[in-house]
Amino acid sequence: MPELPEVETVVRDLRLSLVGRRLTGIRTSSRPLRVKWSPDWEPCLVGRQVSTIRRRGKWILIDLAPTGLFVIHLGMTGQLTVVSRAKPAENHVHLEVDLDDGVDLLRYRDIRRFGSAVYYADESAWSDGRVEDLGPEPFDLTPRYFREMLAATSRCLKAILLDQRAVAGVGNIYADESLFAARLDPRGRGCDLKPRRAERLRTAIAAVLKRAIESRGATIKDFVGGSGLKGGYQNEFTVYGRTGQPCRSCGRPIECMRLAGRSTHWCPNCQDE
């Protein structure tokens, strides 16, 4: 599933090719995404201009002028790209938005259809319609917030990092990578984490995500950025997906266990705190 670095990569790519463009037409497939497309959204989108594109957690927010918000979630296999109209559509394309030059279009492809593309009148309507509240962005975590949030729960660290209400945007890949960078056992409880170690984890999360963004995220199978280019951070994984391979720090085999309902990769030797 695309996480913060992958979504941020899509957003940065789309800013270069989409901001300032006007939406002139929309086509959707007959197969629904996670949220069924409403024909009522089309007159709200067609004719609007893209003013800004931003990210909140794992969500892509396309602000429209004079009003409106187009919100897209990539789910597990979503791809959102600006392409030439002359490029043949691959299988599993569920949304195409024509752009004002008549040459390019915005295309949303999603093999598993767990993503969504929804129009909202404004950001408050989107916030009211979400299933869960979003916590602060990882780059905005204050030491006090992070320390107090951890102290208030007995859940394991892996579960905490996966909780979008605690920290927005982190998923399975970057939870594992951040815990390794902080040298912390993913089974450790939040309430047991000493302030020094909490701070180590807070800074590790930001550092790992920053480096992943610089590498355009990770392409394990389906992910591409808004320009269609793949990511490269998968070549830098320290633990994720490396079960049985030697730890890059100590050489001991990376192990995998089930935590918080997800596969969790770690080095028992390096992550012993």
Q: Decide if 58 is catalytic.
A: yes
Question: Catalytic residue among 3, 6, 96, 177, which?
Answer: 3
Nearest partner of 35 among 8, 71, 10, 6, judged by Cα? 71
For the chain, the distance separating the N- and C-terminal CA atoms, rounded to the nearest angstrom, is 28
Q: Decide if 194 is catalytic.
A: no
Angle at alpha carbon of residue 186, lines to 182 and 191, rounded to 5°: 90
Q: Decide if 262 is catalytic.
A: yes
What tokens appear for 253 in the block? 């085999």
CA distance readout (Å), 134 to 93, 172, 195, 210: 29, 17, 24, 20
Question: Catalytic residue among 2, 5, 138, 186, which?
Answer: 2
Question: Catalytic residue among 55, 56, 58, 202, which?
Answer: 58
Backbone angles phi, psi at 171, to 5 degrees: -125, -160
Strand partners, 116: 73
Q: Which residues of 118-128 are buried (b: 16+ CB within 10 A; e: fewer)?
A: bbbeeeeebee
Q: Report DSSP letters for 159-192, one per residue.
A: HHHH-TTTSSS--HHHHHHHHHHTT--TTSBGGG
What tokens appear for 113 in the block? 């259809």
Nearest partner of 13 among 24, 26, 2, 29, judged by Cα? 2
Q: Decide if 107 is catalytic.
A: no
Question: Catalytic residue among 85, 230, 262, 268, which?
Answer: 262
CA distance readout (Å), 74 to 8, 19, 26: 12, 19, 18
Longest dimension (CA), the chain: 59
Residues 6+ apart with CB under 8 A from 154: 189, 190, 191
Q: Which residues are catalytic?
A: 2-3, 58, 262
